[in-house]
Chain A
């Protein structure tokens, strides 16, 4: 495999994963419609 392509793909995947984690847990993230809003995926419906 071309080393540059290898490097590019691996970096892209790692940055994507880091972005996902930061977006999920850092404050300021809007909670999804389903779930308690903590990002745990527990499915508990929270009504305010």
Chain B
């Protein structure tokens, strides 16, 4: 018996403005779990899935990155235009377009629809988020809109699944009518576009839209296309003829389309009680305020870290106890041997030392999920943009930098929304300076050693300042790069502030579930393997004298020798050779610092069968002269070092792939390590000069 692949009868593309719910609709139709968020720019690549029409027929569904118009520049936006014009070899031109529009912002959203109608592809309009529009006193006359546009209009609420059945029916209809109505353009533009179309060597059905796009492009964008000289001259001549008719070839079609849309909205959209401030507008007056906006941002962050310390301590205590009990169990049931040492001091101490931070990471993702889903993140981007534009960072850099709070990898991938190569490179170079979740264990252990008796407010304050150090460092380095190595103009940010909405608990829970799964998988694979290797390095070669003390044994080991080897370099930072082992051990993944310290101090503590928490061991660690190793200056210096150092081989790999060269990742490792060393040096030596210890 063989199972045949169902025949795809239609290719359907979802297009629309950023943040109008395209990915939510895509997920609702396909049953997939594409990442969605209440801020623009979540989808940077086209995504495909299958869905079934009203009679069970298989259709291919394509989720296109959001764009405001088809005259676009950034790589992610170009994807939408190229797919609709059938320019991509691997993607067929869609048979149907589902144009998703936000019912609350119909006038602006219909601009892209006006251009889509010029494409001559059958189109179904999904009038999305009608519930929110109604809450804002906006009602849309669906019948009037349908008549004016000449295409089926289906009211939907993608989040709840409302309207999906009629939408499927509309898309499944056969045959589907090609739109006959569109915005009337000035006669001279229609005529020139038609003449230019006749000269284009492309498929018949895309000639006119291609010609219209060429005719309305700016000079710089035209040059970037690399058109044949003869064609370029013809475009120039056509544009000149439009200018001779006293029209701007770029602005005139935009004005004509908007005039058409305005007339259409006057008939179909009714606003109750005239223009009034919505709840979102009222909230924004505070949350994007020059002073209160920052206060709210810092409050939100401080609250997040406060909860991370207060709520997480109970489950963390349980995990710590479980790890200690497991270690004791192994010690009780295995004779003293290398295998027992590997299991207890290597695997259980190393992996347990990292897994104990799972509750804190879960709470971090819970808060990040809520901030994203409510729409607050776009406001954070807005208030940050004032700072970012001063240092020359592109406004679109915010989302990549924000994603880097979770992990630098998706952050660096999100830089694809930045059209200018230099701006993109600057963002890639500074994104790993934002504190990712892997730094949390390092901060948490250092804070525990630094201030064991402090309350959650004080701990949250320290961790918040580390996050701020990362942000300031990222902005400063961006300014340095923009002034020197990657000099260039910075375009203005055009950012849409989505309406606030209640978070979808399902989305937040799903994200926490996925991230905790990834964290545990990483602990069970990379951290486990590195812990085993670090234990081996900290144990072998063994000292020739079997009665040697644990410290002597560690010094003789390969890790001890490495620690001693780099000691001259780290001595000015106040670190001893054991911390040096931690720095080397965590070169591939920064959270391994905690595992390494667990292994180093557990290996040392073997004499006393010591299973005391790492924090206590580190607090009581003494230098040969009897002074404590982990003084406040050392703890703060170490945190600053980890804020600024690269210490993540996965990020190196992704930077190599995104920049397509080894030059940039190597430069990044170099500059970040130097920055980390200088930062820790300034903290330690500067602090000592000021009389601290």
User: Which chain A residues numbered 2 to 28 have a C-beta less than 8 Å away from chain B?
Assistant: 3, 6-7, 9-10, 13-14, 16-18, 20-21, 24-25
Instruction: Assess whether B653 is interfacial by the CB under 8 Å rule.
Output: yes
Do B533 and A17 touch across chains, with their CB atoms under 8 A apart?
yes
Produce 1/0 per residue, B529-546, CB < 8 A to A. Answer: 110110010000000000
- The smallest beta-carbon distance between A34 and chain B, in angstroms, is 10
Which residue of the partner chain A has the closest CB to B521? A41
Note all chain A residues with C-beta closer than 8 A to B653: 25, 38-40
Query: Is B338 part of the contact surface with A, judged by Cβ < 8 Å?
Result: yes
Chain B residues with Cβ below 8 Å from A21 are 526, 529-530, 533, 588
Smallest CB–CB gap between B341 and chain A, Å?
Answer: 8
Contact of A36 with B335 in the complex, beta carbons under 8 Å? no
- The interface stretch among B255-263, B406-414, B638-646 is B406-414
A36–B649 touching, CB < 8 Å: no
Judging by beta carbons under 8 Å apart, are A41 and B518 in contact? yes
Q: Residue of A at shortest CB range from B533?
A: A17
Looking at the complex, which one of A3, A17, A38, A45 makes contact with B529 (CB distance below 8 Å)? A17
B497 CB, min distance to chain A CBs, angstroms: 26
| Nearest B residue (CB) for A40 | B650
Q: Which residues of B contact A43 (CB under 8 A)?
A: 514, 518
Nearest to B341 among chain A residues (CB) is A10
Known: A41-B521, A42-B409, A47-B46. A14 touches B532 (CB 8 A): yes
Q: Are B342 and A10 in contact (CB under 8 A)?
A: yes
Quote the shortest CB–CB distance from B666 to chain A (angstroms): 14
Decide: A38 near B409, CB < 8 A? Known: A1-B337, A14-B536, A47-B46.
yes
Chain B, 654-666, contact with A by CB distance < 8 Å: what is the 0/1 string?
A: 1001000000000
**For the complex, is B196 an interface residue (Cβ under 8 Å from A)?**
no
Binding site for A on B (CB under 8 A): 45-47, 334-335, 337-339, 342, 407, 409-410, 413, 514, 518, 521-522, 525-526, 528-530, 532-533, 536, 588, 648-651, 653-654, 657
Q: A6-B338, A47-B47 are known; give 20 further A-B pairs, CB within 8 A.
A: A1-B334, A7-B338, A10-B342, A17-B530, A18-B529, A20-B525, A21-B530, A36-B410, A37-B657, A38-B409, A38-B654, A39-B650, A40-B409, A40-B651, A41-B522, A42-B407, A42-B409, A44-B410, A45-B47, A47-B45
27 A-B pairs, CB-CB below 8 angstroms?
Answer: A1-B335, A6-B337, A6-B338, A6-B339, A10-B339, A13-B532, A14-B532, A17-B530, A17-B533, A20-B525, A24-B525, A24-B526, A25-B588, A25-B649, A38-B651, A38-B653, A40-B407, A40-B409, A40-B648, A40-B650, A40-B653, A41-B518, A41-B522, A41-B525, A42-B518, A43-B514, A45-B47
Q: What are the 7 A-B residue pairs with the smallest beta carbon separation, nearest first? A: A40-B650, A17-B532, A38-B653, A17-B529, A42-B409, A38-B654, A6-B337
